Amino acid sequence: MASFVEAAVSIAREAGNLLRYHFERRVAFELKSAFDLVTEADRASEKLVVERLGQLFPSHSVVAEEGTGQERGSEYRWYVDPLDGTTNFAHGYPVWNVTLALEKNGELLAGVIFDPTRDELFAAEKGSGAYLNGARMSVSKIARVEDGLFSTGFPNWNRSENPNILFFHQFAMASHGVRRSGSAAIDLSGVASGRLEGFWEIGLNPWDLAAGKLLVEEAGGVCTDMDGQPHHMKSPHILVDNGLIHEEMIQFFSEISQGRLRYPLPALSQAKSQV
């Protein structure tokens, strides 16, 4: 019998190949709410993942974004994002993935992110490290925000009440930059693989972050909420980073939250080119 992580890898590869098939043919999208997109690819991928999990682990609970998972009262629970980065996918922008993770009584045991467009398979098992295409990964060694590259994201719901643009601006000014990939799992895998020093987001769901959180921790990084408190699946915000930069990030978030901005917002009239 395959281990949990081996099963997750095989399911993610199968679902990722199905997603690539749809991506190459361009699929139409529908709106779940004002700016929240869903495509037939999300549904087809979820059907496949939920079916495979049901065949392999019929007693396990499954929480899947498009709502076809089942609560079975098990101590084991899978979190499934059948397509993370749907907005990118629907526009033909090649930054998306499929991700799934398993927790037992609240502890993450296994997590996988498969990015078919770059053929990158990220996998982690509790206590056994984190791997990219079979090679061990570790977080970066950069120890100062001013030397770092970061990423963040903005949920598709409640957009007007999300204060993240302030954090985005302050960190962008204080560092080498802040990326917004449109896929939380890709962002999290970026921290785990040392390509980014840190990532944060306000309002993510468990299926977006479960695998990436384990990847970061197994790669030697840390995960808390943006106040530095322990992160759990229902926390309103998440911060992951390489650990070395953690205290500085928390301190900076705290200042920004209190309205103490290091960098004032510029006016458009100040804009000029370099030459």
Residues 6-25 that bind ligand IPD (CB under 6 A): none
Scanning 51-59, 151-159, 230-238, 265-273 for contacts with ligand IPD by CB under 6 A, the matching segment is 151-159
Residue with smaller CB distance to Ca ion, 175 or 235: 235
Q: How far is the CB of 83 from ligand IPD (least distance, A)?
A: 6
Residue 117 interface partner, choices Ca ion, ligand IPD, none, CB cut-off 5-8 Å depending on type: none
Question: What's the number of CA atoms in the CB half-sphere (13 Å) around residue 151?
Answer: 18
Scanning 67-75, 114-122, 167-175, 200-208 for contacts with ligand IPD by CB under 6 A, the matching segment is 200-208
Q: Out of 29, 76, 93, 154, which residue is the one contacting ligand IPD (CB under 6 A)?
A: 154
In the structure encoding, which two tokens stand for residue 178, read together?
């802040």
Phi, psi of 142 (to 5 degrees): -70, 130
Residue 85 interface partner, choices ligand IPD, Ca ion, none, CB cut-off 5-8 Å depending on type: ligand IPD
Q: Is 156 in the site for ligand IPD (CB under 6 A)?
A: yes
Scanning 134-142, 165-173, 178-186, 251-259 for contacts with ligand IPD by CB under 6 A, the matching segment is 178-186
Residue 76 interface partner, choices ligand IPD, Ca ion, none, CB cut-off 5-8 Å depending on type: none
Q: How far is the CB of 119 from Ca ion (least distance, A)?
A: 20
Question: How far apart, in Å, are the Cα atoms of 113 and each of 9, 10, 205, 227?
Answer: 8, 11, 15, 27
Q: Which of 110, 117, 119 is nearest to 80 (CA)?
A: 110
Q: Out of 69, 116, 148, 153, which residue is the one contacting ligand IPD (CB under 6 A)?
A: 153
Question: What's the number of CA atoms in the CB half-sphere (13 Å) around residue 266?
Answer: 8
Q: Which of 245, 238, 262 is nearest to 146 (CA)?
A: 245
Compute and round to an integer the Cα radius of gyration of the chain.
19
Residue 182 interface partner, choices ligand IPD, Ca ion, none, CB cut-off 5-8 Å depending on type: ligand IPD
Residue with smaller CB distance to Ca ion, 103 or 208: 208
Q: Which of 74, 77, 120, 69 is nearest to 96 (CA)?
A: 120
Torsion angle, alpha carbons of 39, 43, 49, 50, to 10: 150
Scanning 108-116, 150-158, 169-177, 230-238 for contacts with ligand IPD by CB under 6 A, the matching segment is 150-158
Residue with smaller CB distance to ligand IPD, 87 or 138: 87
Query: What b/e string do you get for 144-154 counting C-beta neighbours within 10 Å, with b at 16 or more?
Result: ebeebbbbbbe
Question: How crowded is residue 48: how many other Cβ atoms within 10 Å of its Cβ?
Answer: 18
Cα–Cα distance between 255 and 109 in angstroms, integer?
Answer: 35
In the chain, the amino acid numbered 37 is L
Binding site for ligand IPD (CB under 6 A): 81, 84-87, 153-156, 182-184, 201, 204, 208
Binding site for Ca ion (CB under 5 A): 65, 81, 83-84, 208
